[in-house]
Structure 1
């Protein structure tokens, strides 16, 4: 029970936690009802005119103030917001209105793609619950003086609600009637009749229902009741159709009964469940195509198990309900050759041939003037006989043909619609997966084998993972769900990763070809030529799809074969030009023997190494965002190629992968993954490669990049050790460019961990190395970092000179990332000078650049800088929003140092808002952490200088110690926007 409940069906009342509220004035109750159904703020003049139309504006507003005062006292005061010109009833948590619930239930039911008369098991409960809420008409028995605008509004609401209720009742009645649940159908039909006794269709339906349960007398009595009502109320007689039905029943004849699937749809097909979740978009598109006069042959193609048969059965069902042309379902699984197509179609049409004439000619003669649809299911093994379908189109101009097949028919008049898996959650999170069709199907199938099955919060991510692995393939999901009696979702997901072969069932009512996923795939495999089988085995090397160039260069598979595999549903092609293969199909093909597999794998690794090398330079320029997107698309292939090169210690290939992979993970905030990837590579390279110098050169680069990732994770000691190892190797190998870069990185790590003297030494040596090479980009990077040293030393003029020199170079090169970095550094400099407004603009510009390349670590870092600039400028709300967004941005990349810096910012904000003790405890917590950057030290010293005079020495030490002994979770409450207002 909610805190506040409005009951507006029938005589209106308001309850609070089950207790009836005492409202003295009728107009107070009228106003409450109006506001409850009007979530937007309402103008007070309009409300006054609606309730007191006969009064002048001043008097009406005075009367409105009186009932507003009463309403505010009756319900919780915070529920009602009264402003000078507007009033709103805040519909927050704990607020319930029966009418709103009624409409919400109908909206949920109406999202299903049904004819307005029909329902399905999924949406039926919504309609039933809605009808149960509607026990009486809207505000029945409640009146204000006739002629007032409120009464007009009430009548309009009542009529709309009654119309919606009747539609729901009709759906419920037809649902139960369709399933021969006649007692329920009659009960709801009587409610329909009570609400609308002049509707002849409900009288007709009741007459039919009575006859179908053998109550002929009740059926005849229903006709007499209808005749009497129409005569008395409208002075008319029943329509002719109703009278004919009456005569039929009087003659003890039973009227025909049509099911939801129509008389032409099969009651039993392939043993698959007939329920079809989702597919609304596909059905709309297929309906649109079939409605096109030019489309007379439509082939629905897709891999086996994708749900082609189930989908056409759903289409047939809906077509029958809409009185579309008659459709005949013709299953072809057991039709062994194209020669048997004629008798198969004739059997579905209940057509008997005469011996004197050719059966095909007799079929054409029968079809020539028919306006029907032939639905040919599972045609893939009869493609050589597809010319026969062209003959039907020629001989029977009004016939349309819908075909399901794993491959195209390759006919000139063929239209094609490709069917893919059900929708599934594409990321690693189960968030939003409840609305995904694949997960809904998994739950439905699991409940079939284990009726009390439900998805717990712990199990849902693994169920979503199963659906994602199977890419929404309905048959695979159904087979996986059949294991829930024996295995948890986590165990099913683990088994799938190991081997898809366990996906099988032994149910005797499931066709043998659908009892295991392996059997389904093996059948599809049999439709390929030898050349196609070899090609698809090579293509199974690719992860996450591939482009035409990769297929040609790495696998030696050319367009003609790819096109054939597309036509046979072994591949699909996305709008961006990529070819993709179902993961279960890819793994199936990987198991097939391929003599030259290692050659193809090596070619794959080399191809993507070159792919990375060609894009490395562009990652630092104006095309950075574009190249990042390209690498992201191919990251599964790149990772596979990288891992193969590492396993086989192919140094030259590893070297081509290194820098692009590093930049990709750095720019996307994948520091943990990048560090671990490099650590595994360093460990693998400790064997005996062909040449030690070649190995050491690669290891030196790996240590340098690994150390830089550790720096982002605030692991300063680890970063320093790795960078020192890299520097040692680089000195001995005489690799000046890499040495200068690694020295610069080491300097920045020392700077971040406030070891300024060591930082200066590293920057100076790096600058000297770059000068000896006359390397302008390297020298510019060093000067930028030396500018940082100047800034923390308070040498603002020298720092600004260095920054502006670097900014000019970066802008000329189009290096957006480094331009953004320098702009933010100048912002910090301006803040040190006390010019907060200028600092804000510089930080905003920097963040704009970083957002353009989507670099989460730097976005979070610059948002923190912006927050402090807002604090300095006295804009507390903007500061709060900046710190909160920063925390949100960096929470997923384990950037501990940045999180601590953001907490210091929030502590400073608390201090400004008077929450001094909380601010000091937060400062104590941050001070006790090992991963504090130099910027964090700067801000926290400034904060402590502000707080120290506000406390006695004893309280100051006590609060700092309390914070130091706390954990991060103790401060999570402050991550919410309203926690310290």
Structure 2
């Protein structure tokens, strides 16, 4: 341990592999090393157990799951997301422990890439084989110290003897080393101090004396030495222990144990009985013999090396295929049985069952795909699809891809139907999570829909219509202008199908999608659709659906500027997401609530919420959420503490986290507020003014508008335009308390008001204040943005046969900035379809047919 600790402290040692045979104690040693050297790694020590994995594709998700990182439903691939996280954390002193790497050696390139992407991360690996990487340092691990054949020193001085005695006293409380010291010495020597072998040997003390155990090991050791010369020396002893244990098992126990080798990452009593025919008494005997263990939550487990040994006997007995058939049938049936409960009433319990057995589910799926068991997959795929939708898409999308890509076109009608169902659900997950997976989605879903119609499968018709609508929404910015309205029609048709079928789960889902495609100006229609969806979800107790619809209503209320209702829904949504421990939902709700409390003037609560959001985003590497939270915190630093330099530093830091340009989404606005207020506090008024467009969403939204009003008032005061400054302050403070409460906590504003009172007499001050309070917010904000005095542009616009409207001129200006229709929609808070209508109108009025022509014509007419 001292030697390994020194190696880990060496800056040039980035990858250290502990090698040795299975059962030698590599895992236990690595655990102890990690626990004793935490001070070396202030960034954390992350343990990755790889024994349950069977494919190298599972290596990256396993590493990611062990770290605070979690995959986000973004357009980047899981690998891109994780390596972005590594670049963010590259300088932190972190130890990643990869336990039992030997069966995933084909995936070592990922380890090399991980080391290349970081500067201060170290990897401690355990493996029966070296990884053969250039960066690798190797430390072979042998057994515990044990007495030589004719040693005369005290047996208690050897660690192998100490371990055996400790295990022995668990089996026989009256065990005394002196009663059979020679037998114990022989056992320790024959197994070369291998910890697992010692434990297995001690397990037989209920039946045999130490001398007898040593004799059995010796007999089988001789046998292996003569028949299997190509086994490594250390493995001969290990197999001797296993062979000894195997010979002493009853025939029934042997048969059960070898069948248990099919399980991955543990199993339940019911699974053992169904798959391996294991009775409770058989499991108890196997536990007593140290071949099986029962963990704290009641699941049964077996050491990986023992599992492999049992698998060899299963194969030798010619039973592997038959047991695998029972295994995959059990777990795929388990998925099918969970489907109803995932959709209604017992959702959390069903999801917990699948989560606990996910490695078995994954392995069963792989087996079924490999064996082309299409019908078996048919009953399971809907549950797995719903589990993906509940947050495990990064695990399940590869399983669906594997099946779709490996299955040939089936002549059998039932098999073809299952393959189409699988394709439709894969497409839904790709679109909902915005995954960067190249597939002809439109052609595939059209094919699935046509096949469902041919079968007259109403449930699948409804599903394919829903997915077709999602694809239409996804394509909306690249396809003809009617794509968005086409999505709405498809959703409406799908909802009608599900209503006729009496399927409230998917009817509620489609209603929420309809709400999302409703034009922004029809926000009350969207609210009605979401309310109907919420009622359906409550009827069936779809807790995940209830939580997300609640947050959707939060956004709808915000769009209607109903901050009071918005706060109520945000608090409800946050409570629900916390109950379910749903990170993505918690981040969404935390931001909404933090922003509401900020404008309301509840600054302490706003800070607590923003800090919680930042910490959660940091743990899960959600860069956007981290950016939004730090934007709020930067504002609070400036407003509450007037720490303008610190606030500006934080604002610049969080803006560097931006993954994409900002187009005016309400969440993204927060990224600019702190910087703007910091600039104002530091007297950099020109910089503050430049940020006004990025600080505003709807110009009639009082919350962000009060920020611009306050900043402009400060700038005008600096320019000695005192009455204009007072008017803006009067308008800002005239806004509802839920939008202007924060102004009462900014000392700069209080000083500003006092300074202005000193510049003017009380009557002039009061008249200016009241005059400002009576102004129209929208008009005033447009004036601040320089969008009111447009006489020259209006003159040339009027020369057109059909002048452009104000909104069309606005859209034209954004087109000139190179924004896509989707970006313009986000900036102006419109639907993409509405933007396309405005664009067509612009083309018609200018007599052109493309963006390029429109910009050229607009320049000629001096409209830009």
Query: TM-score when scaled to structure 2?
Result: 0.49
| Larger Cα-atom Rg | 1
TM-score by length of 1: 0.44
Say which structure, 1 or 2, has more relative contact order (CA 8 Å, 6+ apart). Answer: 2
Structure that is richer in helix per residue: 2
